[in-house]
Structures are given as structure tokens and as C-alpha cells.
Amino acid sequence: MLGVLVEVTVKLIPKAPFSRVLLAAFADIRKAGNAVADIIAEGIIPAGLEMMDKASVRAVEDFVHAGYPTDAEAILLCELDGTEDEVATGLAEVTQLLDRCGAVEVRVASDDIESARFWVGRKAAFPAAGRIAPDYYCMDGTIPRKHLAEVLAGIRALSKKYKLEVINVFHAGDGNLHPLILYDAAIAGELERTEAFGSEILRLCINMGGTITGEHGVGIEKINEMCIQFNNDELDQFHAVKAAFDAKGLLNPGKAVPTLNRCAEFGAMHVHAGENKFPELERY
């Protein structure tokens, strides 16, 4: 949008000498969400902190047999890194904390091989979705973690409304949610229903004080939702910045930032900083 990248310099950091992952199962997704907050409150910043809901656990378990507990409502994967001692102390601390938070089971990987197996499931979530449905649509909203249970409940309600299955994987440490909507593009109208479903999920994320995209960015998809997250002045400012780099509008025109006309056609109800009009009305 702003230029053609021809070279990139990045900072490198030494790799941690040791890392280990643990897996915790919860019978209640709300408790799993609270456990994440408690880990952070304890001053622990894990190298990875991921959550999966029951539907995604079952989907990957059928696929890669990672050994996940398929009766759990949610599982958490928490990886710590540092020196061996540091990791051992941290894992003991996190295990105690997860017990207190109501985890029904906590498994600490005994070695690198088991650590890798714990991760295999999470990393296979996207292909697993592809295995159980002809198509899937991945969303990327980010929310304050404290609203996780509420957002997941909202997604479940939307799933019923649109009659489409959804599985959820979640970069829990960052509040970054990846609902994967399962659909079949060969069925007339299903893609459009999927897009409408996705749009409502993003609207929900904005209403909760979050954002429509945490890491995937906006191209053509999600461009309409930009009209909800930003007001016209803000969109104007984006266009002015683009023009400063690309006066003739040659680079990826029409992507990432919608024109005000497009927003008018989309008929967006702008929600600013999570302040909802008529908050007393139920929205999902």
C-alpha cells in the first residue's frame, strides 16, 4: 500500500536454552479464560499461551491424535522458556495456579518429544478444519482477554443463527481469536452466509473494545468492517498518509482502507472505542 519492500532488517535475539510446554484441560471455558488472566497477573509471561475449544480439540484429535482430552470444554497450552531451572520453577508455579483455577487435568510434557506432540495438535487446527469441511473461513479478531467467555458465547449464538459450524483456536496470551467458520462453497448462498457470520464476529470484537484483525491484516476481506472500526475522519487520515507515499495510487489500489463511498454503501453503524449505541439491546 505504501511501498514495495525490497529489503528488510530484523533484530535477532538468542534462543532460550530450554523450553517446555504444559497442557491443561477445563470443564468450563470461562475458567480457562480466568486462568489466563491469573497467569499474567502472577507476573509470568509465557513464550506461548494458546487455547482451543472443544470443537477444535475434537477436530484435531481425529486428525493428528495428539492425545488431547476430547471431553474438555477447553484446553490451554502454556510454554515457558529460559534456563532449565527457571522453566521447572515456572511450570510448578503455573501448575499450582491452574489447579487453583479449576483445571480438571494438567499435564507437563516430560521431554522435547512430548512438548512437540502437545504443539502438533494446535498447529494442525487449520488443516483439521479443512479435513472436516470443504471450506473454512478464518477470522482474526482481537479482544481484551477478560471478554473471552462472552465473545465465545456470542460466536456460539451466531453459529446457530447462521446454521454454520465454527471451531475456535485462540492466541490466549494476546487476546487474538481465530474462529474458523466451516462451510461449503459449492452450496449456493453458503459463502455469503459465512461472510455475514464473520462480519458479525468482527463487530462483536469491536463492541468488546477489540479490533477486527490482530495479525492477518486487511486486504479485500474485512475491508467493510474497517468502516465500523474507524470513523470517516480516521479513514480520511489513512488515505492522506497513503497519498504521501503513493501520490498516484498505484500500489494495491482499493485494498486495506475502504473509500468513504464504500463505507456509505456498506451502511456501517460506527462503534467508537467500544461505546455502543443503545447498549441495553441484546446483539447476538
Partner 1 sequence: MKEKINAIQDQLVDAIAQRSPLKITGGDSKSFLGRETIGSVVNMSTYSGIISYEPTELYITARAGTLLSEINQVLAEHRQMLAFEPPQINDKTTIGGVIATGLSGPRRPYSGSVRDHVLGIRCINGLGKDMTFGGQVMKNVAGYDLSRLMTGAFGTLGIILEISLSVMPQPAFEMTCRRQLSASVALAKMLELSRQAMPISASCYDGNELFIRLSGNKKVVKETSTIIAFDDYEQGPAFWNHLRDYKMPFFNSDTNIWRLSVPVTANLHCGQDPFIIEWGGSLYWLNSKRPAREMFNIAHKMGGSAMLLHGNVEGQDVFHPLTDAMLSLHKRLKNAFDPHGILNPGKLYATL
Residues that bind partner 1 (CB under 8 A): 1-2, 14-17, 37-38, 40-41, 43-45, 82-83, 85-86, 89, 142-146, 171, 173-176, 209-218, 226, 229-231, 233-234, 236-238, 240-245, 247, 256-257, 272-273
How many CA atoms within 13 Å lie on the side-chain side of 15? Answer: 3
Q: How far is the CB of 148 from partner 1 (least distance, A)?
A: 11
Q: How far is the CB of 88 from partner 1 (least distance, A)?
A: 10
Q: How far is the CB of 74 from partner 1 (least distance, A)?
A: 18
Nearer to partner 1, 26 or 230 (CB): 230
How many CA atoms within 13 Å lie on the side-chain side of 214? Answer: 22
Helix, strand or coil for residue 76?
strand
Of 106, 82, 104, 102, nearest to 92 (Cα)? 106
Q: What is the DSSP letter of 29?
A: H
Nearer to partner 1, 192 or 245 (CB): 245
Nearer to partner 1, 166 or 218 (CB): 218
How would DSSP label each residue in 169-221? Answer: EEEGGGTEEEEEEEE-TTSTTHHHHHHHHHHHHHHHHHHTT-BSBSSS--SST
Cell of 162: 447462521
Q: How far is the CB of 167 from partner 1 (least distance, A)?
A: 20
Q: How far is the CB of 278 from partner 1 (least distance, A)?
A: 21
Cell of 32: 480457562
Burial of 154 (0-12, 13-18, 19+ CB in 10 A): buried
Nearer to partner 1, 152 or 226 (CB): 226
Nearer to partner 1, 244 or 281 (CB): 244
Angle at the Cα of 42 from the Cα atoms of 37 and 47, rounded to 5 degrees: 75
Nearer to partner 1, 66 or 172 (CB): 172
Burial of 138 (0-12, 13-18, 19+ CB in 10 A): middle
Please count the other Cβ atoms lying within 10 Å of the Cβ belonging to residue 128.
24
Q: How far is the CB of 214 from partner 1 (least distance, A)?
A: 4
Nearer to partner 1, 117 or 122 (CB): 122
Nearer to partner 1, 156 or 216 (CB): 216
Element (H, E) at 74: strand 74-82
Q: How far is the CB of 79 from partner 1 (least distance, A)?
A: 16
Q: How far is the CB of 261 from partner 1 (least distance, A)?
A: 18
Quickly list H helices, 50-147: 54-64, 84-100, 112-123, 125-132
